Structure 1
Amino acid sequence: MSKKVTLYITGLLLLVLLATGCSSDGEDTSSANGESDEATSEENSEETSERKLTHAMGEITLKEKPERILAPYLEDSLVALGEKPVAQWSIGETVLNYLQPQLEGVPKIGWDLPIEQAIEQNPDLIIFSAPTALQNGSYEDYSSIAKTYVFDEETGADWRKQLTTMGEILNKQDKAEQVLSDFNQKVEEASATIKENIGDESVAFVWTMGEQFYVFDENRYGADIFYNEMGIAKPEFLQSLPEEGEQWNPVALEKLGELDADHVFLIGNEGEPGFEILENSSVWQNTPAAQNGQVYEVNDPSHWTIDGVIAHEMSIDQMVDTLSK
Structure 2
Amino acid sequence: MKKSILSILSLLFTLTLFACSNSEEESANSGNTEQENTNEGRTLEHASGEVTIPGNPERILAPYLEDSLVALGVEPVAQWSIGEDVLDYLQPQLGDVPTISWDLPLEQTLSQEPDLIIFNSPSSLQNGTYEEYEQIAPTYIYKDEVNSSWRERLTRMGEILNKQDVADEVLAEFDEKVEKTKESLEEAIGDESVAFIWTLGEEFYVFESSRYGAEVLYNEVGLTQPEFIQNLEQEEQWNPIALEKLGELDADHVFVVGEENETGFEILENSSVWQSTPAAKNDQVYTMNNPSHWTIDGVIAHEMTLDAVTDELTK
Structure 2 contact 293–304 (Cα < 8 Å) conserved: yes
Taking the aligned partners of 1:120 and 1:137, their CA distance within structure 2 comes to: 15
**What's the counterpart of residue 110 of structure 1?**
101
If the length of structure 2 is used for normalisation, what is the TM-score?
A: 0.86
Structure 2 contact 54–116 (Cα < 8 Å) conserved: no
Structure 2 contact 155–167 (Cα < 8 Å) conserved: yes
Taking the aligned partners of 2:47 and 2:216, their CA distance within structure 1 comes to: 27
Partner-residue secondary structure (3-state), 1:144: helix
Aligned residue identity for 2:51 = I
Partner-residue secondary structure (3-state), 2:126: coil
CA deviation string 1:97-142 (max 9, x = no partner): 0000000111111111111110110100000001111011100010
Higher relative contact order (CA closer than 8 Å, sequence separation 6+): 1
Deviation at 1:239, TM superposition (A): 2.6
CA deviation string 1:256-311 (max 9, x = no partner): 01100000000000110000000000000000000010000000110000100000
1:319 aligns with 2:309: yes
Taking the aligned partners of 1:202 and 1:174, their CA distance within structure 2 comes to: 37
1:53 aligns with 2:24: no
How has the CA–CA distance of structure 1 residues 244 and 84 changed in structure 2, closer, same or farther, with 3 Å as cutoff? Answer: farther
Q: Which structure has the greater CA radius of gyration?
A: 2
Structure 1 contact 227–233 (Cα < 8 Å) conserved: yes
1:205 aligns with 2:196: yes
1:258 aligns with 2:268: no
Match of 1:219 among 207, 210, 216: 210
Aligned-residue identity in percent = 65
Taking the aligned partners of 1:172 and 1:125, their CA distance within structure 2 comes to: 15
**Structure 2 portions without partners, runs of 5+:** 1-37
**What's the counterpart of residue 232 of structure 1?**
223
Correspondence 1:1-325 to 2 at 5 A: 48=39, 50-243=41-234, 248-325=238-315
CA deviation string 1:41-94 (max 9, x = no partner): xxxxxx655311111112112342100000000000000000000110011000
CA deviation string 1:206-243 (max 9, x = no partner): 00000000000111111111111111011000133122
Q: What is the RMSD computed on CA atoms of the aligned residues?
A: 1.2
Partner-residue secondary structure (3-state), 2:136: coil
More helix by share: 2
Structure 1 contact 203–232 (Cα < 8 Å) conserved: yes
Taking the aligned partners of 2:163 and 2:59, their CA distance within structure 1 comes to: 16
